[in-house]
């Protein structure tokens, strides 16, 4: 079966040349532009949107199409080039834009691309607005303008510099520079290489950049998981580096390799950032329901609260704003600091981790060992909506004494671990995550769901 073009809360994603074409990109941009114009009807003057893209070869074609779609509904466009997703969040506010568009398919392979929409506050549109944009797209509700009123196109190449300056403003660069850390950075030929190198050089690091050319020809599968980062681990070992960093193609996620060339897992990126920030600023933390319990332990020690949200950057960012959180993010290596923007940001994560190393004088493996570990298992299975409801109801009976949270699928919290079942937003599958103090206990929870599914079939 051919894959479907996916239009979800966070934007649109498809396979270029198959289900995702320039025409679709232009119309989707026109729908977004129409939505912004109608929402800003009282305000005078023309609206401006900035567009950034990751390094995929299809990015330029889609950028041109998106710019055309916006211009055709009378919106001025500023093309900020190949940049990280968080840099678009920063620039749209810097340039006083009504919104931003990122052309990226994040960690998906090269054949994919996508369009991510951001409002003037740097956040993805809330569900209701996303629904309206989708309606405009399908109903072809486009407020086209005549020739004289078409939007103008301009360029701005300052994104890297401005983003890096902002990140440096929340840390103490001189403390990090004094340590002259040797760092290997793997940007997987995505958009993060230039900014990553600029930041690390400003922080006085000896940078060994691998896969830093923004060709979109990904040197390895682009999701920053252990199995995809063996070459980074080897480079850290060979270079005797203090640590290694891996970005995903749009550089909103970061994974870390320690000085012993050990991949330490994306969950630790956020755990370290949270632990470090809480030594400086006392305030709440927000994260999604699928993120490790390490955060609860760290927050508890610091005497602050953790707000749990449905999975998705926009949900976490909204909770951070609502509850005045000093730090937040998702367990996939996505750290959010609202002083930079409500977007997951690998540069923020790099800066905070290096500052933590500099201030504690400890190496990264020691900092990891100081965090009580958990064992996490991620799995998925195919299920219709009805099957999922039945599985959930049976699971609730099985674990009747657990603490239950139903804001996104269902999370069961036990004394010795937790289990989260949620239907995917993008695939007809149910994601299942279990975490416990040890492997055996985590497996026990995963097996319990397998048993429930088996019994339902019999």
Specify the DSSP class assigned to residue 16: B
Query: What stretches of 74-138 adopt beta strand conformation (E)?
Result: 76-82, 99-103, 112-119
Task: List, in sequence order, every residue forming a beta bridge with 78; answer none if it has no partner.
Answer: 50, 154
Q: Which is nearer to Mg ion, 27 or 252 (CB)?
A: 252
Catalytic residue of the set 58, 71, 106, 346: 106
Of 348 and 357, nearer to Mg ion (C-beta) is: 348
Give least dist CB 248 to Mg ion, A: 4
59-88: buried (b, 16+ CB within 10 Å) or exposed (e) per residue?
bebbbbbbbbbbbbbbbbbbbbbbbbbbbb
Round to whole Å and give the CA distance between 307 and 249.
28
Q: How far is the CB of 249 from Mg ion (least distance, A)?
A: 7
DSSP annotation of 3: P
State the Cα–Cα distance between residues 60 and 54, nearest whole angstrom: 9
Residues near Mg ion (CB under 5 A) are 106, 248, 250, 252
Q: Is 393 annotated as catalytic?
A: no
Q: By beta-carbon distance, which residue lies closest to Mg ion? A: 106
- CB nearer to Mg ion: pick between 85 and 160: 85
Backbone angles phi, psi at 130, to 5 degrees: -60, -40
> In whole angstroms, how close is the CB of 85 to Mg ion at the nearest point?
6
Please give the C-alpha separations between residue 456 and each of 111, 227, 389, 434, 443, in angstroms, as whole numbers.
Answer: 38, 34, 12, 21, 20
CB 74 within 8 A of CB 142: no
Question: Minimum CB separation from Mg ion for residue 125, in Å?
Answer: 18
Write down the least CB distance from residue 348 to Mg ion, Å: 14
Whole-number Å distance between alpha carbons of 321 and 319: 5
Q: Give the residue with the Cβ less far from Mg ion, 250 or 355.
A: 250
Provide the minimum distance between the beta carbon of 20 and Mg ion in the complex, in angstroms, as a whole number. Answer: 17
* Residue nearer to Mg ion on the CB measure, 186 or 250: 250
Structure tokens at 421: 């079942």
State which residue, 248 or 355, has the beta carbon closest to Mg ion: 248
The C-alpha torsion from 32 through 38 and 40 to 44, rounded to 10°, is: 110
- Smallest CA-to-CA distance from 359 within 164, 174, 167, 165 is with 174
* Residues designated catalytic: 106
């Amino acid at each position: 079966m051919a894959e479907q073009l996916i239009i979800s809360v966070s934007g649109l994603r498809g396979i270029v040349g198959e289900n995702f074409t320039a025409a679709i990109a232009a119309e989707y941009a026109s729908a977004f532009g129409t939505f912004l114009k109608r929402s800003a009807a009282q305000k005078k003057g023309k609206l401006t949107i900035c567009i950034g893209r990751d390094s995929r070869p299809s990015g330029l074609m889609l950028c041109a199409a998106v710019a055309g779609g916006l211009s055709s509904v009378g919106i001025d466009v500023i093309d900020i080039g190949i940049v990280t997703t968080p840099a678009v969040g920063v620039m749209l506010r810097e340039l006083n834009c009504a919104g931003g568009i990122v052309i990226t398919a994040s960690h998906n392979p090269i054949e994919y691309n996508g369009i991510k929409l951001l409002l003037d506050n740097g956040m993805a549109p809330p569900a209701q607005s996303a629904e309206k944009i989708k309606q405009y797209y399908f109903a072809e509700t486009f407020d086209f303008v005549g020739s004289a009123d078409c939007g103008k196109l301009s360029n701005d190449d300052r994104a890297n510099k401005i983003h890096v300056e902002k990140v440096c403003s929340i840390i103490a660069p001189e403390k990090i520079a004094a340590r002259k850390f040797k760092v290997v950075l793997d940007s997987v030929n995505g958009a993060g290489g230039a900014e990553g190198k600029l930041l690390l050089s400003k922080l006085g690091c000896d940078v060994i950049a691998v896969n830093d050319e923004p060709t979109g020809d990904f040197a390895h599968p682009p999701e920053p998981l252990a199995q995809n980062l063996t070459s980074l681990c080897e480079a850290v070992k060979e270079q005797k580096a203090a640590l290694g960093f891996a970005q995903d193609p749009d550089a909103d996620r970061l994974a870390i390799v320690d000085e012993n060339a050990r991949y330490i897992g994306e969950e630790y990126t956020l755990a370290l950032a949270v632990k470090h920030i809480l030594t400086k600023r006392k305030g709440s933390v927000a994260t999604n329901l699928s993120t490790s319990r390490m955060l609860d332990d760290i927050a508890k020690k610091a005497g602050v609260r953790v707000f749990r949200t449905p999975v998705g950057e926009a949900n976490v960012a909204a909770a951070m704003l609502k509850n005045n959180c000093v730090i937040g993010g998702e367990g996939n290596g996505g750290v959010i600091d609202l002083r930079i923007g409500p977007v997951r940001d690998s540069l923020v994560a790099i800066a905070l981790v290096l500052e933590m190393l500099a201030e504690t004088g400890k190496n990264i493996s020691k900092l990891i060992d100081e965090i009580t570990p958990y064992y996490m298992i991620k799995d998925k299975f195919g299920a219709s909506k009805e099957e999922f409801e039945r599985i959930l109801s049976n699971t609730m009976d099985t674990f009747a004494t657990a603490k239950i949270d139903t804001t996104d699928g269902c999370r069961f919290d036990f004394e010795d671990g937790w289990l989260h079942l949620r239907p995917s937003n993008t695939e007809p599958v149910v994601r299942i995550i279990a975490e416990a103090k040890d492997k055996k206990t985590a497996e026990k929870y995963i097996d319990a769901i397998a048993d429930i599914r088996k019994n339902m079939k019999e």
